[in-house]
């Protein structure tokens, strides 16, 4: 069938966090154009206005139930900059552990619950790996989902100990954390991490975390995949599937990758295929509203406003279009690992000049393998008896400050304007605001809109599986996107 | 996974939500949501985060329920129902359908044997109602304290019950799972709900019950700043003495609770928690007395007891209340013989 053109609207697009609709123009069995719609608006930037600044620590996390801690950290960092206040060493370690726990749990949830179940779809029944994929990855019933959800629940005991609960904790404050750790809790933290390491090393990787983190080239990765039977570990099974389906050629992103750096472990910067890594300059960030159901001009988030207009002509999403120096950029674990210079991550983007379904998923699991050993070190560095939190100054906060953090899905920024202790402006640009933005005033599509072009969609297929792989490879969080 | 008989079917929708209730539920019982529910014969017809079916496949399930071809034991709604802008419901269109989520909910709810509001947004409106309520958010059967909501105050599901409000932001996974499991047992009557539709098994407790800071509370030895071990009620905004919930009787994520972790209970199980009169993390006071007193406690008694207990505070308790770790351990004395 050639020469046919059709319009396909995909929704409700599930196994993503929040609400998503994708409209595709399909020509000759390939996506020619994509429009990504965020169909839910809740008004957090309006709700925050005029509240006491410290209320952001209660309100902002509730933007998102899966990136709740990341929202806390961004708010706390913006306030800490204004104060200014600096957390003591214990406070930084505990906050890093809480954030890393969320990031790691999210990576695991994404792979197991959101992304991999698509390989268990009946459309793949003829593939040699199908039986293994069905057994391991099937939604609800797959062995991986059952084993890893249990491991995830027990890993989240880190949150119980350090943050009281997850999601929606108030433990993260500008001056540190509200909970001191005593020697017995330090031991319990190490036990929780040891148990989580075991479950990852048994089920997900079938190898030591350090061995996975040390894979430094595509050849090494391929050799590692070949070294054992394809179903020895879910990561290996994925690599076999990815090779069979050519996932390294699917879902090419815009090429520019951005990271604000994280934990002092992953460096910040902006990577382009030909320019390498350049410094990240947040002052060059603008939000373009041309195709968003929002009134207003393109502005820096410090001057940004949020005035919804559901009837605006030409608009098709509640999502604004953030641009860095005019460019659509991709954020997430792949961006973090590429910017940081991990050789495998760099190799994954070198061949194709940017992100792909395979690169995004491998980078996420690679990051998971790097995070857990770091968390073990941070726990050991905690010194019970020394302070965990510094008090904020008594004077009301005044001025403007940016709080940046790397959420699991990428760079999250809170642009805070405080006037005499009250919130005068609060603009949030979340990871998926970057990745799933609509077109801007120059007609440049957002990263996902670019990545979907060329994706196969067979005639008559209302849920083309390749489109689902591309969309989910970004690990979208739509509730953060629009907030 | 039903052990016997017919599965108890659940359809889960996310309205104006952050997804946090689902994320909390996923950690249920430490074995995960699906397995926990399976033990009670509960089958998820469709869940936006967990099910394989997407797009047209998912809509077919929703349509089958709406048209009565598929029996539904419980409709779970997570998130507030958004009525705006201007009553159109367009702040949330169920993707792929062009219809407001609000309209899907009102279409599906009458088909369900039970309707459960998951979390405070679905129950009362919750955080999206804060400020000027820019999206005209409502609960399923309440607008904050006022009965009504998207389904109306007279709504009863096929079981004859009003909407069951498993409030909390986010609710404890046990609250969601145990309420669903209780429904499968078939003896869940209206007497099991409080006046705001909350399961009394949870709401008959206060978050204060079992608080690990109880000794500091007794002596009004109060924390002055974040990370202090003292009681959080007098200065740091804690509303646990007023907040329904067994938060400190059970554990969150294995080990924790809000007050254990050193921060205020914000009374997230109650309507209107999102709009306190002052800052969340400061205790509102009149003439030095907290405005929010412990539930059922006359003010004069509170004032008198607080003064007495402050005057009787042991030095150990006072010192430790202003530290982030125990500075003074309890005295070691051999028990007196009679």
Percent of chain A with pLDDT over 90: 95
Q: What is the mean pLDDT of residues A127-155?
A: 93
Which residues of chain B does A188 touch, with a Cβ-Cβ cutoff of 8 Å?
255
Tell if the CB–CB gap between A310 and B225 is shorter than 8 Å: no
pLDDT band at B297 (very low <50, low <70, confident <90, very high): very high
Structure confidence at residue A1 (pLDDT): 44
**Domain residues of chain A, as ranges?**
5-482
Look at residue B16 and tell me whether its pLDDT is greater than 50: yes
Condensed to tens digits (0 to 9), the pLDDT of residues B173-221 reads 999 999 999 999 999 999 999 999 999 999 999 999 999 999 999 999 9
Tell if the CB–CB gap between B91 and A308 is shorter than 8 Å: yes
Condensed to tens digits (0 to 9), the pLDDT of residues B251-284 reads 999 999 999 999 999 999 999 999 999 999 999 9
Cα separation of A236 and A135, whole Å? 15
Look at residue B39 and tell me whether its pLDDT is greater than 50: yes
Condensed to tens digits (0 to 9), the pLDDT of residues A196-243 reads 999 999 999 999 999 999 999 999 999 999 999 999 999 999 999 999
Q: What is the mean pLDDT of residues A76-98?
A: 98
Tell if the CB–CB gap between A165 and B44 is shorter than 8 Å: no
Structure confidence at residue A3 (pLDDT): 64
The domains of chain B, with CATH numbers, are 8-203 (3.40.50.700), 206-325 (4.10.480.10)
Residue A42 to chain B, least CA–CA distance (Å): 6
CB nearest A308 (choices: B22, B85, B282): B85
Structure confidence at residue B35 (pLDDT): 82
Which residues of chain B does A109 touch, with a Cβ-Cβ cutoff of 8 Å?
26
pLDDT band at B6 (very low <50, low <70, confident <90, very high): confident
Tell if the CB–CB gap between B32 and A146 is shorter than 8 Å: yes
CB nearest B257 (choices: A59, A109, A164): A164
Which residues of chain B does A54 touch, with a Cβ-Cβ cutoff of 8 Å?
279-282
Look at residue B3 and tell me whether its pLDDT is greater than 80: no
For A:305-344, CB contacts with B below 8 A are: 308, 310
CB nearest B252 (choices: A57, A141, A164): A164
Single pTM value for the model: 0.98
Condensed to tens digits (0 to 9), the pLDDT of residues B159-177 reads 999 999 999 999 999 999 9
Condensed to tens digits (0 to 9), the pLDDT of residues B78-116 reads 999 999 999 999 999 999 999 999 999 999 999 999 999
Condensed to tens digits (0 to 9), the pLDDT of residues A237-278 reads 999 999 999 999 999 999 999 999 999 999 999 999 999 999
What letter would DSSP give residue B20?
A: H
pLDDT band at B12 (very low <50, low <70, confident <90, very high): very high
Structure confidence at residue B1 (pLDDT): 37
Which chain A residue has the Cα nearest residue B22? Answer: A65
Q: What is the mean pLDDT of residues A348-357?
A: 90
Condensed to tens digits (0 to 9), the pLDDT of residues A357-405 reads 999 999 999 999 999 999 999 999 999 999 999 999 999 999 999 999 9
Cα separation of A245 and A472, whole Å? 16
CA angle A134, A222, A407 (to 5 degrees): 70
Look at residue B152 and tell me whether its pLDDT is greater than 90: yes
Cα separation of B103 and A483, whole Å? 22
Cβ of A55 under 8 Å from any chain B Cβ?
A: yes
Number of A–B residue contacts, CB under 8 Å: 288
Structure confidence at residue A446 (pLDDT): 98
Q: What is the mean pLDDT of residues B226-242?
A: 97
Interface residue of A8, A18, A19 to substitute, partner B, most B CBs within 10 Å = A19
The mean of the pLDDT values for chain A is 96
Which chain A residue has the Cα nearest residue B324? Answer: A180
Structure confidence at residue A141 (pLDDT): 87
Going by C-alpha positions, the residue among A327, A333, A328 that lies closest to residue A358 is A333
pLDDT band at A96 (very low <50, low <70, confident <90, very high): very high
Tell if the CB–CB gap between A167 and B281 is shorter than 8 Å: no
Using a 10 angstrom Cβ sphere, with 0-12 exposed, 13-18 middle and 19 or more buried, the burial of residue B329 is: exposed
pLDDT band at B307 (very low <50, low <70, confident <90, very high): very high
CB nearest A463 (choices: B54, B260, B278): B54
Condensed to tens digits (0 to 9), the pLDDT of residues A463-475 reads 999 999 999 999 9
Q: What is the mean pLDDT of residues A404-417?
A: 98
Which chain A residue has the Cα nearest residue B267? Answer: A58
Look at residue A296 and tell me whether its pLDDT is greater than 90: yes
| CATH number for the domain whose boundaries are A5-482 | 1.10.645.10
């Amino acid at each position: 069938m050639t020469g046919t053109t059709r319009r396909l609207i995909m929704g409700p697009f599930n196994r993503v966090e929040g609400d998503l609709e994708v409209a595709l123009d399909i020509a000759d069995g390939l996506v020619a154009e994509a429009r990504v719609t965020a169909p839910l608006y809740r008004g957090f930037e309006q709700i925050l206005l005029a509240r006491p600044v410290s209320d952001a620590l209660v309100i902002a996390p509730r933007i998102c139930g899966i990136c709740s801690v990341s929202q806390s950290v961004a708010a706390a960092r913006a306030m800490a900059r204004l104060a200014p206040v600096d957390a003591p060493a214990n406070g930084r370690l505990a906050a890093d552990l809480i954030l890393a726990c969320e990031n790691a749990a999210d990576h695991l949830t994404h792979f197991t619950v959101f992304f991999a179940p698509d390989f268990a779809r009946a459309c793949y029944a003829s593939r040699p790996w199908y039986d293994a994929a069905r057994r391991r990855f099937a939604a609800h019933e797959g062995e991986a989902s059952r084993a890893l959800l249990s491991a995830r629940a027990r890993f989240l005991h880190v949150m119980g100990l350090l943050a009281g609960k997850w999601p929606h904790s108030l433990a993260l404050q500008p001056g540190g954390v509200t909970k001191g750790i005593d020697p017995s809790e330090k031991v319990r933290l190490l036990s929780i991490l040891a148990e989580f390491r075991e479950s990852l090393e048994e089920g997900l990787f079938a190898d030591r975390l350090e061995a996975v983190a040390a894979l430094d080239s595509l050849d090494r990765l391929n050799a590692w995949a070949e070294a054992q039977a394809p179903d020895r570990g879910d990561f290996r099974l994925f690599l076999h599937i990815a090779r069979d389906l050519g996932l390294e050629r699917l879902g090419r992103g815009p090429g520019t990758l951005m990271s604000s750096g994280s934990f002092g472990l992953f460096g910040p910067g902006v990577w382009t295929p030909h320019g390498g890594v350049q410094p990240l300059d947040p002052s060059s960030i603008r939000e373009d509203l041309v195709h968003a159901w929002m009134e207003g001009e393109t502005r820096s988030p410090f001057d940004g406003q949020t005035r919804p207009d559901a009837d605006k002509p030409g608009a098709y999403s509640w999502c604004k279009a953030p641009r860095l120096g005019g460019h659509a950029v991709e954020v997430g674990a792949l961006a973090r690992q590429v910017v940081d210079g991990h050789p495998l991550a760099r190799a994954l983007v070198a061949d194709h000049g940017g992100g792909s379904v395979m690169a995004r998923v491998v980078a996420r699991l690679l990051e998971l393998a790097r995070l857990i050993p770091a968390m073990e070190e941070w726990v050991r560095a905690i010194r019970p008896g020394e302070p965990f939190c510094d008090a904020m100054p008594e004077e009301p906060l005044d001025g403007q400050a940016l709080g940046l953090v790397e959420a699991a899905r990428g760079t999250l920024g809170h642009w805070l304007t405080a006037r005499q202790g009250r919130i005068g402006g609060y603009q949030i640009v979340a990871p998926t605001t970057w990745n799933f933005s609509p077109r801007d005033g120059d007609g440049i599509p957002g990263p996902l809109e670019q990545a979907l072009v060329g994706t196969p969609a067979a005639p008559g297929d209302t849920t083309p599986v390749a489109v689902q792989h591309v969309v989910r490879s970004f690990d979208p969080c739509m509730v953060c996107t629009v907030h | 996974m039903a052990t016997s008989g017919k599965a108890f079917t659940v359809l889960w929708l996310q309205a104006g939500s952050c997804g946090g209730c689902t994320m909390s539920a996923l950690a249920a019982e430490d074995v995960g949501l699906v397995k926990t529910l399976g033990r009670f014969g509960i089958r998820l017809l469709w869940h936006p985060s967990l099910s394989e079916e997407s797009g047209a496949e998912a809509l077919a399930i929703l349509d089958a329920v709406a048209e009565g071809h598929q029996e539904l034991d419980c409709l779970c709604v997570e998130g507030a129902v958004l009525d705006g802008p201007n009553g159109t419901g367009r702040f949330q269109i169920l993707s792929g359908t062009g219809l407001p989520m609000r309209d899907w909910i009102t279409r599906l709810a009458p088909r369900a044997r039970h309707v459960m509001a998951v979390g405070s947004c679905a129950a009362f409106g919750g955080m999206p109602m804060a400020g000027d309520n820019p999206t005209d958010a409502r609960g399923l059967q309440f607008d904050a304290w006022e009965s009504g909501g998207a389904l109306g105050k007279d709504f009863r599901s096929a079981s004859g019950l009003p909407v069951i409000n498993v409030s909390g932001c986010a609710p404890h996974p046990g609250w969601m799972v145990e309420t669903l499991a209780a429904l499968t047992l078939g003896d869940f009557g209206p007497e099991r709900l409080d006046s705001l539709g909350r399961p009394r098994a949870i709401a008959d407790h206060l978050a204060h019950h079992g608080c690990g800071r109880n000794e500091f509370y007794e002596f009004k030895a109060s924390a002055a700043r974040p990370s202090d071990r003292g009681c959080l009620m007098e200065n740091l905004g804690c509303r646990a003495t007023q907040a329904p919930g067994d938060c400190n009787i059970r554990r969150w994520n294995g080990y924790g609770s809000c007050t254990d972790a050193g921060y205020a209970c914000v009374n997230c199980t109650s309507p209107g928690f999102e709009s306190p009169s002052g800052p969340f993390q400061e205790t509102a006071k009149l003439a030095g007395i907290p405005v929010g007193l412990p539930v059922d406690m006359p003010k004069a008694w509170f004032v008198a007891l607080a003064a007495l207990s402050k005057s009787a505070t042991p030095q150990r308790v006072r010192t430790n209340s202003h530290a982030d770790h125990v500075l003074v351990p309890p005295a070691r004395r051999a028990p007196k013989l009679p």
